[in-house]
Structure 1
Amino acid sequence: MIQRALVLHRWDFQETSLLLDVFTEQNGRVRLIAKGAKRSKSPWRGLAQPFVPVKIEYKGRSDLKTLTLLEQDTQSAQIRLTGNALYSGFYLNELLQRLLPAEAEAQELFQHYWSAIAALSEAKHVEPALRRFEWQLLEHLGAAFDWYHDADTGQPLKDLEYCYFVPDHGLVSTPRHKDDKAYPVNDIERIADWDISDEHRLKQLKWIMREALHVYLGDKPLRSRELFQQRRK
């Protein structure tokens, strides 16, 4: 079956081949061998890389499949990422590699990812696109939370002045620890409506998303985040 896809990461494999981690439209994330893709005359050489919209086909029953077709997706807009947008794209790719189970159906998330990459290529500021995809990924993982109600009591937060975020649980009216960060409920309600044009609310959303994802990422650092920090020095 030929389907749309984007390469998340690639590694050298033996002398002439590549190992690809690919996000496909129909089958989610798959691991493929692209035989001969490193050869100078291989038509796959310039296509088997991140952020290039492609169509692929593969075969095999093991966890490691064999790529049989790789061609440019001429019906999709070409994506060009540079600077902060490029490092942000690497970040999204690493999130998918770390958190998306192999060969799990993720058609809606694929569309969200495609939209996020396209937004990064066009936007002057990358943060809104990153935050939106992080939330969409949490929804896909079944880890989304209610922005409007206390996760402990179910009571509306709207009558409160501040609330607190508990990872893997949600927003609550009572902090768990004395140093928990307090979020103004008015800001939380606007964030829930994706009113994040204000820099302060955008930072608040970033903190919440980072805490929410940390539960699933664990303590292993994100390589893409380290590279971005090095670039800014």
Structure 2
Amino acid sequence: MRVTGYVIHTRPFQDAKILVDLFTKELGLVRCVLRRNAKEARATPGSFLLHEIELAGRGELKTIRSIEALESGSTLQGNSLYSAFYVHEIIERLVPTNLPLESLFLLYQWLVNNLRQGVSIAPLLRRFEIGLFEELGIAINMASTARGDPLQPLQLYQFHAKFGLRPYFGDQPKVRPIIYLDGRIAQAYADGKWTDKAVLAMAKELHRAWLDNALGGKTLKSRSLLPSRSHEGRRLWQVPVFEYKDYI
């Protein structure tokens, strides 16, 4: 079977073999074995390049019969490279194997192409995370309250992992929320306004907690490579607060 895809991860296996994880358009995330000949003993398929791959085998572990790059891309460096490593790790950790996810594949392709062009990283990562959440069935609803009520721009809300958005009226919550935010930021997030500084700041905090929950609290190694800064604004009951007025 011929597929198109990207190399997500490689590691030594046996003798002249390596294990290769591919993210493909046709099959999703696939675990494979690649045998290298003597001339290719130290060569591995390049990351961040679209490949055409011929696969064999009916089991969970496929065999790569041939793999050929379909493009020559510029090398990612610095934070762009570290961001790509981060995306690869969350794909590896969260995406089921052998499940076609074409929309997520296209989103990954879009991400890599934009990282090559030096586009601002934060909006790219937040948009990819949203696509991942949707594919995993854990999408974040910021378009309305947990009861389906429309958002009020100046109302402060508390956002819970299980309950979604609930209006906050000043009492200490019985269940600690992930964040507090006003209705204007919530609506801008739902509308995909990724040039908005308030939306990006809120989404970074929210998505980190959302991923931690999906990972069962396990640490992402690639996070140590990326710039990390805790919320420096106001807090309620030690929970970050995001209000649009603070970003004007």
**Cα distance 1:144–1:92, how it changes in 2: closer, same or farther (>3 A)?**
same
Q: Which ranges of structure 2 fall in alignment gaps of 5 or more residues? A: 229-248
Conserved 8 A contact 1:168-1:215: no
CA distance in 2, matches of 1:28, 1:219: 25
Alignment of 1:67-82 (within 5 A): 67-74=64-71, 78-82=73-77
Conserved 8 A contact 1:58-1:68: yes
Deviation of 1:220 (Å): 1.2
Alignment of 1:45-64 (within 5 A): 45-46=43-44, 48-64=45-61
TM-score (norm 2): 0.82
Alignment of 1:14-163 (within 5 A): 14-36=14-36, 39=38, 41-42=39-40, 45-46=43-44, 48-74=45-71, 78-151=73-146, 153-158=147-152, 161-163=155-157
- Provide Cα deviations, 1:117-174, integer angstroms capped at 9, x if missing partner: 11122134211100000001111111113212112x2211226511122125422224
Give the aligned residue type for 1:12.
Answer: P
CA distance in 1, matches of 2:53, 2:74: 18
CA distance in 2, matches of 1:55, 1:43: 21
Give the aligned residue type for 2:110.
Answer: S
- Provide Cα deviations, 1:168-204, integer angstroms capped at 9, x if missing partner: 5422224554675310111111122222323332110
**Cα distance 1:203–1:42, how it changes in 2: closer, same or farther (>3 A)?**
same
State the match for 2:192 in structure 1. 194
CA distance in 2, matches of 1:164, 1:209: 15
CA distance in 1, matches of 2:227, 2:185: 28
CA distance in 1, matches of 2:42, 2:102: 25
Give the aligned residue type for 1:129.
Answer: L
Alignment size in residue pairs? 224
Name the Cα RMSD after superposition. 2.3
CA distance in 2, matches of 1:169, 1:45: 50
**Identity percentage over the alignment?**
32
CA distance in 2, matches of 1:124, 1:185: 28
CA distance in 1, matches of 2:145, 2:205: 19
CA distance in 2, matches of 1:144, 1:89: 22
CA distance in 1, matches of 2:201, 2:60: 39
Conserved 8 A contact 1:165-1:208: no
CA distance in 2, matches of 1:105, 1:79: 28
Q: Which ranges of structure 1 fall in alignment gaps of 5 or more residues? A: none
Conserved 8 A contact 1:8-1:93: yes
State the match for 2:201 in structure 1. 203
